[in-house]
Amino acid sequence: MKLRYDLHSHSTASDGTLSPRDLVMRARAQGVDVLALTDHDTTDGLAEAAQAAAESGLQLVSGVEISVTWNQHLVHLVGLRVNPAHGPLQTGLADLRARRDGRAEEIGRRLTRSGIPGAFEGARVYAGGGVVSRTHFARFLIEQGRSRDMREAFDRYLAPGKPGYVSTVWAPLEEAVAWIRGAEGVAVIAHPARYKLTGTRLRQLIGEFKECGGEGIEVVSGSHSRNDCQTMADYAARFDLLASCGSDYHGPETPWMELGRLPDLPPGCTPVWERWAGQDDSFPAQALAF
């Protein structure tokens, strides 16, 4: 039987709006067989998700989405089947979260100077003790009537060049790949079409990623057009990379985006899950301790 995979999703541990448990239950209800929880710069949601997955018969892939700065571009790497007990991974993620905390305070100060007080506190309430993301600032700005929706909040306040944007240096590419590999995981370039890189720059990124041990690329993504999928399938073949697929689901507030509703990988792709065939599935249980 063909399994339904969704290998990129978020919970309240970062900027998703469903708890890890509710995310897993929703994925199951949507017919997803294999779900990766890939929160931004944290594995904190994995224990709860693993528990819910065991109860519901869904296979959980322990994942993480790591913020990387590559040649001054923000790039996201997804780590799949990572062992969350790997020390250097956790140390690296803790450092990224500390940078996020400092950035959040600075975003708050800048928005205050722009006549919008209380944003830091407001975003922290939305973050609910989890990783603070620009998404939480966007929710605050919408609540305050400053923006109509997420897109407008980013376009007006949170994107590069806007009053609430704070340039931040995230993990170097080779370090993030090393953390994932050290944790026995597969490193995947997330939503490569989102970075708006020229073809030349994107090929440079993929080449450097591959050189430092990266193994996969998201060919099918919730944020890719059909054309993007084909372009990335071509790159996967050219660079001999495994192909992944994930919705990048953040919650039911975006009804046009649903868990597990993804087109098939284009012909010729080697799915990332072929790499796992026959391996045992012990990390979610270990994740309970983290």
Site for ligand AMP, rule CB under 6 A: 15, 40, 67, 133-135, 150-151, 154, 250
Q: Is beta strand 5-6 parallel, antiparallel or unpaired with respect to 186-189?
A: unpaired
Q: Of Mn ion, ligand AMP, none, which one does residue 113 interact with (CB within 5 to 8 Å by kind)?
A: none
CB of 205 or CB of 269, closer to ligand AMP: 205
Of 195 and 239, which CB lies nearer to ligand AMP in the complex structure?
Answer: 195
Residue 150, contacted partner among Mn ion, ligand AMP, none, CB below 5-8 A by kind: ligand AMP
Partner touching 154 among Mn ion, ligand AMP, none, CB below 5 to 8 Å by kind: ligand AMP
> Which residue, 23 or 269, has its beta carbon nearer to ligand AMP?
23
Residue 256 makes CB contacts below 8 A (sequence gap 6+) with none
Residue 139 C-beta: closest distance to ligand AMP, Å: 10
CB 74 within 8 A of CB 47: no
CA dihedral defined by 10, 265, 229, 232, rounded to 10 degrees? 100
Q: Report the side by side order of strands in the sheet with 34-37.
A: 5-6, 34-37, 59-70, 73-80, 186-189, 216-221, 242-246
The DSSP call for residue 187 is: E
The answer to whether the CB of 153 falls within 8 A of the CB of 147 is yes
**Pairing between β-strand 186-189 and β-strand 242-246 as defined by DSSP bridges:** unpaired
Minimal distance, residue 191 CB to Mn ion, in Å: 6
Kindly tell me which of 112 and 168 has the beta carbon lying closer to Mn ion. Answer: 168
Nearest-approach distance from CB 72 to ligand AMP, in angstroms: 15
Q: Which does 287 bind (CB under 5 to 8 A by kind): ligand AMP, Mn ion, none?
A: none
- The strand pair at 186-189 and 216-221 is best described as parallel
238's contact among Mn ion, ligand AMP, none, with CB below 5 to 8 A by partner kind, is: none
Minimal distance, residue 250 CB to Mn ion, in Å: 6
Nearer to ligand AMP (CB atom), residue 166 or residue 237? 166
**CA-CA-CA-CA torsion sign (217, 272, 76, 22):** positive
- The C-alpha atoms of residue 82 and residue 225 are separated, in whole angstroms, by 28
150/233 with CB nearer ligand AMP = 150
Q: Identify which of residues 65 and 228 has a Cβ nearer to Mn ion in the complex.
A: 65
Neighbours of 281 (CB within 10 A): 12
Rg (CA), the chain: 18
Binding site for Mn ion (CB under 5 A): 15, 65, 76, 190, 248
Q: How far is the CB of 53 from ligand AMP (least distance, A)?
A: 23
Q: Find which of ligand AMP, Mn ion, none residue 83 binds, CB within 5 to 8 Å per kind.
A: none
Query: Residue 288 CB, nearest distance to ligand AMP (Å)?
Result: 26
Q: Which is nearer to ligand AMP, 80 or 96 (CB)?
A: 96
For 128-177, give the DSSP string: TTS---HHHHHHHHHHTTS-SSHHHHIIIIISTTSTT------B-HHHHH
CB 76, min distance to Mn ion, A: 4
Contacted entry of ligand AMP, Mn ion, none for residue 134, CB cut-off 5 to 8 Å set by kind: ligand AMP
How near is the Cβ of 80 to Mn ion at its closest, in Å? 13
